[in-house]
């Protein structure tokens, strides 16, 4: 397996990316993997020199050109050709690599990936997914930022892609999918959500449709996959990140507020480390751009080496899975349902 890596993307570049690849290579999921490293050879070589085990499986593709975090998507598309991000995705287009990974500019990555790879057959829009820690494990939430608005059929596509992703990454054979709404009642929500609900309820897919879920169902782990539009999903994601940071700061303050509290914290240090690991975003880092005609995984720009390695594992697992074929089968069923509705018949159940 060959993975194409934008080494210059993100806040830390080679100093995080190279150690992350070493972690991924050592892991059980790493296996027989090679890496194409796109970026400045002068910046990559010193880091690679510190990891002799990594060098035999790496090939440097030198370029001095990089897309900054401040570049607009339109600028990246006009001036990004030959950059480390562009070249990483282009290797997937050519078939030289099975997946691309970048911690760089999200908008630029989305725009360039759509330009080079195009959408998968019969898929209208891409979606950005997030893995969400819950009381029952991990829930996949999408879209979290690729589309401001989504119509009913696009929401159904997100459900299809999210279920296929959850199956590939978390091993759930028939994921339970819920549609985010302001209430669980049939009449609640705007027209697009109600139409998507009707389509999901009446069409047989390779997942189980639960129905409407509310915001508090996410943390409960009521379903395996939560579907929403990108505007709502992005607000939801950033709110959750803010609450997590607030909780961590308040907990730290409380545990150092007095000698007795500090002593209690020392006694509970094992449990606190477990809690910290459970809430660490890096443990579930790696958001694929779903719906493309190829695999592209976005790492958080500020991820540390362990977090970036998680994104690498996501790319490996997707590349080894039946992910694309599963989406294709379900999208064909959606197309049949669309034709049935257009003809005035009931969709096949």
Phi first, then psi, for residue 41 (nearest 5°) are: -60, -35
Residues 6+ apart with CB under 8 A from 214: 180, 181, 182, 183, 184
Cα–Cα distance measured from residue 101 to residue 286, given in angstroms and rounded to the nearest whole number: 9
List of domains in the chain? 1-117 (3.40.718.10), 123-287+323-349 (3.40.718.10)
Count H helices and E strands in the chain, helices first: 13, 11
Torsion angle in degrees (nearest 10) through CA of 202, 204, 210, 214: -70
- Name the pTM for this structure: 0.82
Given a contact cutoff of 8 angstroms between Cβ atoms, the answer to whether 184 and 214 are in contact is yes
Cα–Cα distance measured from residue 276 to residue 260, given in angstroms and rounded to the nearest whole number: 21
pLDDT in single tens digits along all 349 residues of the chain: 899 999 999 888 999 999 999 999 887 555 689 999 999 999 999 999 999 889 999 999 999 999 988 888 888 888 889 999 999 999 999 999 999 999 999 889 999 999 999 988 778 888 988 888 888 888 999 988 888 888 888 999 999 989 988 988 888 889 999 999 988 777 777 889 998 998 888 887 888 999 999 988 998 999 999 999 989 988 888 888 788 778 777 877 887 888 887 887 777 777 766 666 666 555 568 888 988 989 999 998 888 898 899 899 999 988 888 777 778 777 777 777 666 656 665 554 4
Residues 6+ apart with CB under 8 A from 28: none
């Amino acid at each position: 397996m060959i993975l194409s890596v934008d080494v210059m993307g993100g806040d830390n570049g080679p100093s995080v990316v190279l150690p992350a690849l070493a972690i991924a290579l050592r892991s059980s999921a790493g296996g027989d993997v090679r890496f194409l490293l796109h970026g400045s050879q002068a910046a990559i070589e010193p880091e690679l020199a510190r990891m002799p085990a990594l060098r035999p499986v790496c090939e440097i593709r030198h370029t001095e050109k990089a897309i900054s975090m401040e570049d607009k998507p339109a600028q990246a598309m006009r001036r990004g050709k030959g950059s480390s991000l562009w070249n990483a995705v282009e290797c997937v287009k050519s078939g030289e690599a099975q997946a691309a990974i970048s911690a760089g500019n999200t908008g630029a990555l989305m725009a360039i990936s759509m330009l080079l790879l195009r959408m998968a057959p019969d898929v209208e829009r891409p979606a950005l997914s997030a893995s969400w820690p819950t009381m029952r494990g991990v829930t996949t939430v999408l879209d979290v930022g690729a589309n401001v608005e989504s119509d009913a059929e696009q929401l159904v596509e997100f459900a299809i892609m999210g279920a296929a992703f959850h199956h590939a990454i978390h091993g759930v054979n028939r994921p339970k999918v819920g549609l985010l709404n302001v209430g669980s009642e049939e009449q609640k929500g705007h027209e697009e959500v109600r139409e998507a609900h009707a389509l999901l309820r009446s069409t047989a897919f390779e997942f189980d449709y639960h129905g409407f879920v509310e915001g508090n169902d996410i943390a409960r782990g009521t379903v395996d996959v939560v579907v929403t539009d990108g505007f709502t999903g992005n607000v939801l994601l950033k709110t959750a990140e803010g609450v997590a940071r607030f909780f961590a700061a308040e907990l730290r303050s409380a545990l150092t507020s007095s000698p007795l509290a500090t002593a209690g914290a020392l006694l509970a240090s094992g449990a606190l480390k477990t809690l910290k690991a459970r809430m660490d975003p890096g443990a579930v880092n790696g958001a694929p751009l779903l719906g493309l005609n190829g695999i592209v995984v976005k790492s958080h720009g500020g991820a540390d080496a362990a977090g970036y390695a998680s994104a690498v594992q996501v790319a490996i697992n997707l590349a080894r899975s039946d992910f694309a074929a599963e989406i294709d089968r379900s999208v064909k069923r959606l197309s049949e349902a669309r034709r049935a509705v257009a003809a005035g018949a009931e969709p096949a159940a």
